[in-house]
């Protein structure tokens, strides 16, 4: 009984501590005056670094949320005020952000943005247009130069980026426009699409004209002979209120407008993706050589401090979500065991939470909770509920009825029976449920990086983007180790709680 | 001490007890006996309120047993079941002291009471810190008995307390139980299907069949003046043993 009291006290204390830490972290961290964001591809991250360093030259403390997510997520974050500025492309605004409003959009992009509190500071000077890329040798052999040449080769394998598959100006519109007959067409991660084409697993992918890979993989960008793809000129978006709140920052950011051409951008992309240089370094070099500015020293985080920072973020996500889940799920499990009929409903509802795909759940949470740890915490919390509720319920309903009758016959009131008899007897099962939730959480928390929550998913995503296996492993290995560690710790705890002679161990904890 | 008035109990429409009237006086030892399914365990469970009668009334010490009075009544009644019903996560000591601790008894009082009961039941001091899984069946029943007696209840109910033990241990414990009942002078109600055990431990036998009391009295009375053919039949089935005790 005391062992269980210790255990529950420990769980409650941990949860409270983590909650306090969470509050403390968000409260005490000084709010950066300007938050720059970038989307999760290399060019955007370089541009984000560039903006952040520009702001710093004017003495503004910038924060760069690097590789925050896809267009919709970053744009919504800008509208919501989580982000102050980032670089977007005109075509993306027209055909993705404001898809479905076509006529008005064409007329007045600036007006649509202004209605949401967003301004266009201006064009950076380069365009990053969509094109279709095919290996040069393959294209030559089949005699394909223009997109309309593809009509004669229905067996070709197309691998597009997920974004291209879903866009208003993407695959569906392209197929209609050119009457393309290909059927083996799938969406994958953009960088993986490149690798598929490079290794011969696919024949064609969508490319961006400033991609370094076009030259690197010797791709031929097919001629858009029917003028399907719109222009994708890079523009600087910012929150209109920034002009009042931090005018110096806005002035600083404007320095890049009209100063960055397509050749320079392609070269920067190549420096990061092909030469493996850090985005921050490449951006600083451009500020020095291209704009004649003197950015501050570039701080590139070392591997150890990087891993430590990601570990802290990951532990935070897992610890808080699990702690709160325990506080909610154990009472829910007790309730479900006490009221069989309502209990089935509880188990059902909690089970439905589990069936929502993790990715979808995260995306659903973003409009409600913004970006950062919060949506990830809520999603992980929802995922933790089922194993704990179910095991608490199973542990309590599985107790021999003769033991419960003995407790009743002693005259023990219901509440005392629960604390002194039922919960201790169910403890190993409850703990097994918490263990399952914890291990699932350690893995699930890697998805948190998709919504800007950090954690081990961050190096994994960046590694995929940069085709950098070492970086992927920097997230994947610690995540696996942490899962094993969590599993091991819980198993030790379970052994201490097993019934029979081993209860002596638990007794010694008193 | 206990009084049943026209008590009937049925489970999902199947009657287990039909119109039972029974009075058990303070300080007597009564054995409920009869074939399996005759309702003797049901009757015992009604006495401690683990079951509520479908109709009729159960009284303890003159007061009807109601959900409200149950908790207080149970502290005045000890209850032992066949496999002991000991809590596997608690040591023998913690099992016995559970209720006293819950009621906030001081440690010295608990220890003193434990010591008295240990001596009464011949339970070894070294066994107190063991867990039920580490003790033999006979020792577990001693612990169960100590637990039932911890609060010094006025009544003691035992449901086949020795049913799961091997014959040697069973015989030894029967003798000990008889001594304990005699020494404590409590109201004892014992359920058993073993006529020899009933005759040995109980002053009064209550023979039941199909939810009804067939006959009530000493084993001699049952032998000499059987109320119906069933009584003779039941006694004859175990006559060899009855002769030994009779």
Put simply, whether A416 touches B (Cβ < 8 Å) is yes
* A14-18, A20-24, B200-204, range with the lowest pLDDT: A20-24
For CA atoms A287, A289, A291, A297, the dihedral sign is positive
Mean pLDDT (chain A) is 85
Domains and CATH numbers, chain A: 3-26+302-509 (1.10.3720.10), 34-128+232-289 (3.40.190.10), 130-221 (3.40.190.120)
Residues of A in contact with B90 (CB under 8 A): 1, 503
B79 → closest Cβ in A409, A424, A507: A409
| The predicted structure's pLDDT at residue A10 | 54
Which of the four pLDDT bands, split at 50, 70 and 90, describes residue A396? very high
The residues, any chain, with a CB within 8 Å of residue A339's CB and separated by 6 or more, are none
Cα A271 from Cα A280, distance rounded (Å): 11
Range with the lowest mean pLDDT among A195-209, A274-288, B108-122, B157-171?
B157-171
Of A410, A504, A506, Cβ closest to residue B98: A410
Mean residue pLDDT of chain B comes to 85
Chain centroid to Cα A396, Å, comes to 37
Token pair, residue A135, equals 């290996």
Residues of A in contact with B79 (CB under 8 A): 406, 409-410
Q: What is the pLDDT of residue A1?
A: 43
Across the interface, do B75 and A411 touch by the CB < 8 Å criterion?
yes
Interface test with B, best of A411, A421, A507 (most B CBs within 10 A): A411
Name every residue in B having a CB less than 8 A away from some CB of A.
48, 50, 70-75, 77, 79, 81, 83, 85-91, 94, 98-99, 102, 129, 131, 133-134, 147
Is the separation of the CB atoms in B145 and B161 below 8 Å? yes
Q: Is the Cβ pair A500, B131 closer than 8 Å?
A: yes
Residues of A in contact with B88 (CB under 8 A): 403, 425, 499-500, 503
A412 chain-B contacts, CB cut-off 8 A: 98-99, 102
- Binning pLDDT at 50, 70 and 90, where does residue A502 land? very low
- In DSSP terms, A45 is beta-bridged to none
The residue of chain B with its CA nearest to that of A503 is B89
Domains for chain B: give ranges and CATH numbers: 1-76+154-213 (3.40.50.300), 88-152 (no CATH)
Residue A421 has its nearest CB partner, among B77, B87, B147, at B87
The residue among B45, B82, B89 with the most chain A CBs within 10 A of its CB, best to mutate, is B89
Of chain A, the percentage scoring pLDDT greater than 70 comes to 89
User: Do A283 and A46 meet the contact criterion of CB atoms below 8 Å apart?
Assistant: yes
Higher pLDDT, B164 or B142: B142
Residue A268 has pLDDT above 90, yes or no: yes
ipTM of the complex: 0.85
Which residues from chain A sit within 8 angstroms of residue B98, using beta carbons? 410, 412, 420
Nearest-CA distance A492 → chain B (Å): 17
Q: State whether the Cα torsion B142-B143-B144-B146 is positive or negative.
A: positive
Q: In this complex, do B74 and A408 lie within 8 Å of one another by their Cβ atoms? A: yes
Cα B200 to Cα B35: distance, rounded to the nearest angstrom: 18
- Is residue A440 within 8 A of residue A387, CB to CB? The reply is yes
Contact between chains at A408 and B50 (C-beta distance less than 8 A): yes
pLDDT, residue A69, reads 83
Does position A181 have pLDDT exceeding 80, yes or no? yes
Q: Is A510 on the interface with B (CB under 8 A)?
A: no
For residue A394, the distance in angstroms to the closest alpha carbon of chain B comes to 18
Q: How many other CB atoms are there within 10 angstroms of residue B144's CB atom?
A: 27
Of B50, B89, B102, the CB nearest to A503: B89
pLDDT greater at residue A210 or residue A303: A210
> Is the CB of residue B150 less than 8 Å from the CB of residue B117?
yes
**Which conformational region is residue B34 in: left (phi greater than 0), alpha (psi within -120 to 50 degrees), or beta?**
left
Summarize pLDDT for B24-74 with one digit per residue, the tens: 888 888 998 888 888 888 888 888 888 888 888 888 888 888 878 888 888
Selecting from B74, B89, B134 the residue whose C-beta is nearest the C-beta of A411 gives B74
Please give the pLDDT value at position B62: 82
Q: How far is B191 from chain A (nearest CA, A)?
A: 16
Q: Which of A15-29, A95-109, A221-235, B151-165 has the lowest mean pLDDT?
A: A15-29
**B227 token code pair:** 């109320």
DSSP state of A201: S
Residue among A317, A435, A302, A365 at smallest CA distance from A21:
A317
In this prediction, residue A41 has a pLDDT band, given cuts at 50, 70 and 90, of confident
What is the model's pLDDT at position A324? 94
* pLDDT the model gives residue A44: 93
Q: Inter-chain contact A409–B89, Cβ cutoff 8 Å?
A: no
Asked if A161 and A174 count as a contact pair (C-beta separation under 8 A), the reply is no
Contacts of B99 in chain A (CB under 8 A): 410-412
Which chain A residue has its CA at the smallest distance from B94's CA? A1
Mean pLDDT of B115-121: 88
Pairing of strands A205-208, A219-221: unpaired
Could A413 and B147 be called an inter-chain contact, meaning their C-beta atoms sit closer than 8 Å? no
Using 50, 70 and 90 to split pLDDT, how confident is the model at A153?
A: very high
> Taking 60 as the threshold, does the pLDDT of residue A28 lie above it?
no
Pairing status of strand B14-24 against strand B29-33: unpaired
* Chosen from A406, A426, A431 to mutate, greatest number of chain B CBs within 10 A: A406
* CA A503 to each of CA A1, A428, A490, B134: distance values in angstroms, whole numbers, following the listed order: 10, 11, 16, 10
Cβ contact B21:B43 at 8 Å = no
Nearest-Cα distance to chain B for A501, in Å, is 6
Look at A500 and B81 and tell me if their CB atoms are within 8 Å: no
* pLDDT classification of A135: cutoffs 50, 70, 90: very high
Q: How confident is the model at residue A389 (pLDDT cuts 50, 70, 90)?
A: very high
Q: How many residues does chain B have?
A: 246
Size of interface A-B (CB pairs under 8 A): 68
What does the pLDDT average to over A118-137? 91
- CB distance B71–A411 less than 8 Å? yes
Q: Which two tokens stand for residue B90?
A: 């608690």
pLDDT band for position A27 (cuts 50, 70, 90): very low
Residue A222 burial by Cβ neighbours in a 10 Å radius (0-12, 13-18, 19+): buried
The secondary element (H helix, E strand) that includes residue B19 is strand B14-24
- Residue A228 in contact with residue A169, Cβ under 8 Å? yes
- Please give, rounded to a whole number of angstroms, the shortest distance from the CA of A425 to a CA of chain B: 7
Chain B closest CA to A503's CA: distance in Å?
Answer: 6
Task: Average the pLDDT over A142-148 and give the result.
Answer: 92
Residue A265 CB neighbour total at 10 angstroms: 25
For range A205-209, the mean pLDDT: 91
More confident residue, A501 or A207: A207
- CB contact under 8 Å between A411 and B99, yes or no, is yes
3-state secondary structure B23-85: EECCCCEEEEECCCCCCHHHHHHHHCCCCCCCEEEEEECCEECCHHHHHHHHCCEEEECCCCC
**CA distances for B151 relative to A62, A163, A200, B102, B113, angstroms:** 72, 74, 83, 11, 9
Residue to substitute from A400, A494, A503, interface B, most B β-carbons within 10 A = A503
> Looking at chain B, which residue has its C-alpha nearest residue A408?
B50
Question: Can you list the alpha helix ranges (DSSP code H) found in A32-170?
Answer: 42-57, 71-80, 90-92, 102-107, 109-114, 136-142, 162-166
Contact partners, residue A139, CB within 8 Å, separation at least 6: A145, A220, A222
* pLDDT-derived band at A439, boundaries 50, 70, 90: very high
Above 70 in pLDDT, residue A350?
A: yes
Closest by Cβ to B133, choosing from A410, A411, A500: A500
**How near does any CA of chain B get to the CA of A17, in Å?**
30
| Averaged pLDDT, A417-432 | 90
Reported as half-sphere exposure (CB side, CA atoms, 13 A), residue A356 has a value of 20
Cβ neighbours for B10, distance < 8 A, ≥ 6 positions apart: B16, B17, B54
CA-based torsion, B135, B136, B140, B146: positive or negative: negative
A403–chain B Cβ distance below 8 A for any pair: yes
| Per-residue pLDDT at B228 | 84
* Range with the poorest average pLDDT among A7-11, A65-69, A214-218, A438-442: A7-11
Q: What is the mean pLDDT of residues A166-183?
A: 89
Does residue A498 carry a pLDDT above 50?
yes
| pLDDT at residue B215, as a whole number | 85
């Amino acid at each position: 009984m005391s062992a269980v009291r210790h255990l529950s006290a420990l769980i409650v204390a941990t949860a409270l501590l983590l909650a306090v830490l969470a509050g403390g972290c968000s409260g005490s961290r000084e709010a950066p005056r300007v938050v720059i964001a970038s989307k999760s591809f290399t060019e955007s991250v370089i541009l984000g670094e560039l903006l952040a360093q520009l702001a710093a030259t004017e003495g503004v403390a910038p924060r760069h949320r690097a590789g925050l997510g896809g267009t919709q997520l970053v744009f919504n974050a800008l509208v919501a005020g989580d982000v102050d500025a980032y670089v977007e492309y005109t075509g993306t605004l027209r055909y993705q952000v404001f898809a479905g409003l076509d006529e008005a959009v064409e007329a007045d992009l600036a007006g649509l943005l202004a209605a949401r509190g967003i301004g266009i500071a201006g064009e950076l000077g380069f365009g990053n247009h969509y094109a279709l890329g095919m290996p040069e040798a393959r294209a030559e052999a089949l005699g394909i130069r223009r997109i309309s040449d593809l009509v004669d080769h229905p067996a070709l394998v197309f691998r597009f980026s997920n974004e291209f598959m879903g866009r208003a100006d993407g695959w569906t519109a392209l197929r209609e426009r050119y009457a393309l007959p290909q059927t083996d067409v799938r969406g994958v991660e953009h960088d993986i699409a490149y690798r598929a084409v490079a290794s011969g697993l696919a024949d064609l992918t969508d490319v961006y004209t400033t991609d370094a890979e076009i030259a690197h993989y010797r791709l031929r960008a097919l001629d858009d002979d029917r003028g399907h793809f719109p222009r994708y000129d890079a523009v600087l978006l910012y929150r209109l209120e920034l002009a009042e709140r931090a005018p110096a920052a806005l002035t600083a950011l404007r320095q890049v407008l009209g100063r960055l051409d397509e050749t320079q951008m392609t070269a920067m992309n190549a420096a990061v993706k092909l030469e493996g240089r850090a985005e921050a370094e490449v951006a600083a070099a451009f500020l020095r050589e291209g704009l004649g500015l003197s950015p501050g020293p570039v701080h590139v985080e070392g591997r150890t401090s990087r891993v430590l920072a990601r570990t802290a973020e990951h532990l935070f996500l897992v610890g808080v979500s699990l702690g709160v889940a325990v506080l909610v799920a154990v009472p829910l499990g007790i309730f479900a065991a006490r009221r069989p009929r309502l209990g089935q409903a509880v188990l059902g509802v909690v089970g439905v939470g589990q069936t929502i795909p993790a990715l979808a759940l995260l995306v659903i949470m973003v409009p409600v909770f913004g970006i950062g740890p919060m949506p990830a915490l809520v999603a992980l919390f929802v995922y933790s509920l089922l194993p704990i509720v179910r095991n608490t319920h199973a542990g309590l309903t599985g107790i021999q009825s003769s033991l419960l009758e003995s407790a009743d016959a002693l005259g023990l009131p219901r509440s005392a029976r629960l604390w002194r008899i039922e919960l201790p007897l169910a403890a190993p099962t409850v703990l097994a449920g918490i263990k399952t939730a914890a291990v699932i959480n350690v893995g699930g928390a890697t998805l948190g990086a998709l919504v800007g929550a950090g954690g081990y998913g961050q190096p994994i995503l960046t590694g995929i983007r940069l085709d950098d296996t070492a970086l992927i492993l920097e997230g994947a290995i610690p995540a696996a180790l942490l899962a094993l560690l969590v599993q091991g710790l819980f198993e030790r705890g379970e052994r201490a709680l097993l019934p029979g002679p081993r209860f002596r161990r638990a007794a010694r904890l008193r | 001490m206990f009084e049943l008035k026209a008590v009937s109990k049925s489970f999902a429409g199947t009657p287990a007890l039909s119109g039972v009237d029974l009075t058990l006086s303070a300080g007597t030892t009564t054995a409920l006996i009869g074939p399996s399914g005759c309702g003797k365990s049901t009757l015992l469970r009604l006495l401690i309120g683990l079951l509520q009668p479908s109709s009729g009334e159960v009284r303890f010490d003159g007061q009807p047993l109601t959900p409200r009075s149950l908790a207080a009544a149970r502290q005045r009644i000890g209850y032992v079941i066949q496999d002991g019903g000991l809590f596997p996560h608690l040591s023998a000591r913690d099992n016995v002291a559970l209720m006293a601790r819950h009621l906030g008894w001081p440690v010295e009082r608990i220890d003193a009471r434990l010591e008295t009961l240990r001596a009464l039941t011949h339970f070894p001091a070294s066994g107190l810190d063991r867990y039920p899984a580490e003790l033999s069946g006979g020792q577990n029943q001693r612990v169960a008995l100590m637990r039932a007696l911890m609060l010094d209840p006025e009544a003691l109910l035992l449901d086949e307390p020795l049913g799961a033990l091997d014959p040697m241990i069973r015989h030894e414990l029967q003798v000990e139980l008889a001594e304990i009942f005699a020494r404590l002078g409590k109201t004892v109600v014992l359920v058993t299907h073993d006529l020899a055990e009933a005759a040995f431990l109980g002053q009064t036998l209550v023979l039941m069949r199909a939810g009804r009391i067939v006959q009530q009295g000493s084993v001699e009375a049952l032998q000499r003046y059987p109320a119906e053919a069933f009584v003779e039949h039941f006694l004859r089935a175990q006559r060899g043993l009855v002769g030994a005790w009779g």
